[in-house]
A and B are shown apart, each in its own frame.
Chain A
């Protein structure tokens, strides 16, 4: 029983970052129907950006958050302008190819800039953990989880309550009508992209105390988060969030009972089983065709 409870705790903590990235992907998808396959590469890039700023300042991972948020927002803006914007409204094949291409580009860019060897961002709390009764919570994961929750809550408040959120939802539902009301859809798309990318980037940065920085570190995070987005019913922030946590738990339970290498496999198995019975995802509603 101890193993089970402990693995659930680990899973929820690890799932926080999946949920964060999944919500980032969802914000982008929800507004412009574009699946961001480059999320893993931005996750990776943010770790390098963190390393870059650290090499001048010596700041720790948490002090680096504002700097990395600003830098990744800048990268997001530039990539939107030159890669995403030209294909928006074109076929979905084009948007997929562009984000996949962007992903390769960024992954190789960091090798050019920082070299191919894995880097570490030193952290004093890498091995620190909190004990609650007989259970242990790794401190870096706990902080990452809490920051993720705060960011997800902040973004869902922004989307549901603010004026900008209303214009986002209007654009998501009907861009032509939104423009008739005076909403500049390009601006909404740009901001949605930046918000999504910054969320993903902070997710990456928060894991630097426990992950090596190398150019493929983001790949499993991208895959799991995309699965969470699909399971959550594509475009549903709450669904993506809950499924992010859920996949974290599944991975952790499989790792605890079988082997650490099998955690990801567990996610794929459960994913396929769910899709066998609920092809619209856990939170997705069936849509009438025709």
Chain B
């Protein structure tokens, strides 16, 4: 089942056209990786999905609903959760407050409590540190918090901007494992935008390559990983 469908999206910063006719889709429960180098327009695409940047052309639907008509603060209620660039954890609030705010869109406070317990069960470190301010956590722990918080609203899809950014390689591996586990256990679709091509494609079902604002390749993640052109362009081998 199609969940997120982006078709023919173009967008610009002022006069500078950044995205040209981008189309991609994410099915229910699927992990999709959008890879590309710096400045390819990956973050802009996520900001469009979040409603922070307008499109000049194109359509985006989530579960059949026209997402561009939904106001940014209402998008979480239609099942869209975000982990923005730099993780977006609120450094001055405690770990627990961050989690509570993750469930801001939920009506029932009982549901909120249950989801917090579930988050602690999944990430015991967060329970230990629940009363600490989020800014005092290590980079890896903050990424855990970001993922846990994104799950608090029981989303259908999580859009993540560079979860590997600023993390040590061993931590990156761990984070990607968690993402994969979360997606398969909870049947949540994930759209990852990454520069870290190998890691993000190795947990994804499918992938897209974005270059200069255009989708230049798409396909099974495995096939993309083994593709000669991609390997030479992005990995130098």
Task: Give chain A's interface residues, CB within 8 Å of chain B.
Answer: 163, 166-167, 169-170, 173-174, 176-185
Contact = CB atoms under 8 A, between A and B. Distances in A.
Given A166-B101, A176-B84, A183 B73 contact: yes
Interface of B: 50-52, 72-77, 81-82, 84, 88, 90-93, 97, 100-102, 104-105, 149, 153
Given A167-B101, A180-B76, A173 B52 contact: no
A173 B77 contact: no
Contacts of A179: 50-51, 72-73
A32 to B, nearest CB: 16
A163 B52 CA distance: 24
20 contacts: A163-B100, A166-B93, A166-B100, A169-B97, A170-B101, A173-B93, A176-B50, A178-B101, A179-B50, A179-B51, A179-B72, A180-B50, A180-B75, A180-B81, A180-B88, A181-B105, A182-B74, A182-B104, A182-B105, A183-B104
Nearest to B72: A179
Contacts of B77: 182
Contacts of A182: 73-74, 76-77, 104-105, 153
Contacts of B92: 169, 173
A185 B97 CA distance: 18
A166 B97 contact: yes
Contacts of A169: 90, 92-93, 97
Contacts of B90: 169-170, 173-174, 177
Contacts of A185: 73
Contact of A180 (B84, B93, B100): B84
Contacts of A177: 84, 88, 90
A181 B97 CA distance: 12
A173 to B, nearest CB: 5
A263 B205 CA distance: 73
A138 B110 CA distance: 50
A179 B82 CA distance: 10
Contacts of A174: 88, 90
Contacts of B104: 167, 181-183
Contacts of B100: 163, 166
Nearest to B91: A173
A182 B51 CA distance: 12
A181 B93 contact: no
A184 B84 contact: no
Given A166-B93, A182-B76, 6 more contacts: A167-B101, A167-B104, A179-B51, A180-B72, A181-B102, A182-B73
Contacts of B75: 180
A27 to B, nearest CB: 16
Instruction: Name which of A169, A182, A184, A185 has the most chain B CB atoms within 10 A of its CB.
Output: A182
A182 to B, nearest CB: 4
A183 B91 CA distance: 17
Contacts of B88: 174, 177, 180
A163 B104 CA distance: 9
A167 B97 CA distance: 10
A166 B101 CA distance: 7
A191 to B, nearest CB: 15
Contacts of B51: 179
A162 B156 CA distance: 28
Contacts of A166: 93, 97, 100-101
Contacts of B74: 182
Nearest to A176: B52
Nearest to B81: A180
A290 B124 CA distance: 34
**Residue among A167, A181, A185 facing the most chain B CB atoms (10 A cut-off):** A181
A183 B82 CA distance: 13
B16 to A, nearest CB: 21
Nearest to B97: A166
Contacts of B97: 166, 169
Tell me which of A173, A180, A182, A185 has the highest count of chain B C-beta atoms within 10 A of its own C-beta.
Answer: A180
Contacts of B91: 173
Contacts of B149: 181
Contacts of B93: 166, 169-170, 173
A179 B74 CA distance: 8
A26 to B, nearest CB: 15
B82 A180 contact: yes
